[in-house]
């Protein structure tokens, strides 16, 4: 399965950089993962975000989106894999994603009703995707 992780900015805090590297490496063992880290200046640039996600199934991380448990996220990934389209997970900057991107995304996913710091949201996203992927692969990590 092809996954595209799109973030505004890179993890800035040490814990987040370590977590990002750890879970990205793990996820890349199970999927083809492409990462686009847009500069902070593109945080409100819907056209730029559309440009880097063109032709993919877009999943905007949004506080009002659908909340999944790990097995539901695994099912979601399985269904997207059957569609044979690359899936782009869009993680906005400190102010979230532009409204146009949120409204026009194929799906909106909420990690929590809590507002999470950007750096933490990036790590949680990768870990959740890895955990769901291990469920689909029948690996023991998810337990």
Pick the CATH number of 2-142 from 3.40.50.10360, 3.40.1280.10, 3.65.10.10, 3.30.930.10: 3.40.1280.10
| 8 Å CB contact between 47 and 18 | no
Beta-carbon count within 10 A of 31 CB: 18
pLDDT at 135: 97
Cα separation, 29 vs 139, in Å, equals: 12
Say what the pTM is: 0.95
Strands 2-8 and 32-38: parallel
Q: Each residue of 37-82: pLDDT tens digit?
A: 999 999 999 999 999 999 999 999 999 999 999 999 999 999 999 9
pLDDT band for 142, please (50, 70, 90 cuts). low
Instruction: Sort 73 into a burial class: Cβ within 10 Å, 0-12 / 13-18 / 19+.
Output: buried
User: For the chain, what are the domain ranges?
Assistant: 2-142
Beta-carbon count within 10 A of 59 CB: 25
């Amino acid at each position: 399965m092809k996954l595209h992780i799109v973030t505004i900015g890179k993890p800035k805090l040490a814990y987040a950089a370590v977590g990002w590297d750890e879970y990205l490496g793990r996820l890349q063992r199970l999927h083809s993962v492409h990462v686009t880290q847009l500069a902070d200046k593109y945080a409100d640039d819907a056209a730029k975000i559309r440009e880097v996600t063109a032709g993919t199934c877009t999943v905007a991380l949004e506080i009002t989106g659908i909340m999944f448990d790990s097995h539901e996220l695994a099912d979601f990934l399985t269904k997207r894999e059957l569609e044979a389209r690359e899936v782009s997970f869009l993680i906005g900057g400190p102010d979230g994603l532009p409204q146009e991107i949120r409204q026009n995304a194929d799906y909106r996913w909420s990690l929590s009703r809590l507002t999470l710091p950007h750096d933490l949201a990036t790590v949680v996203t990768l870990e959740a995707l890895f955990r769901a992927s291990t469920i689909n692969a029948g690996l023991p990590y998810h337990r």
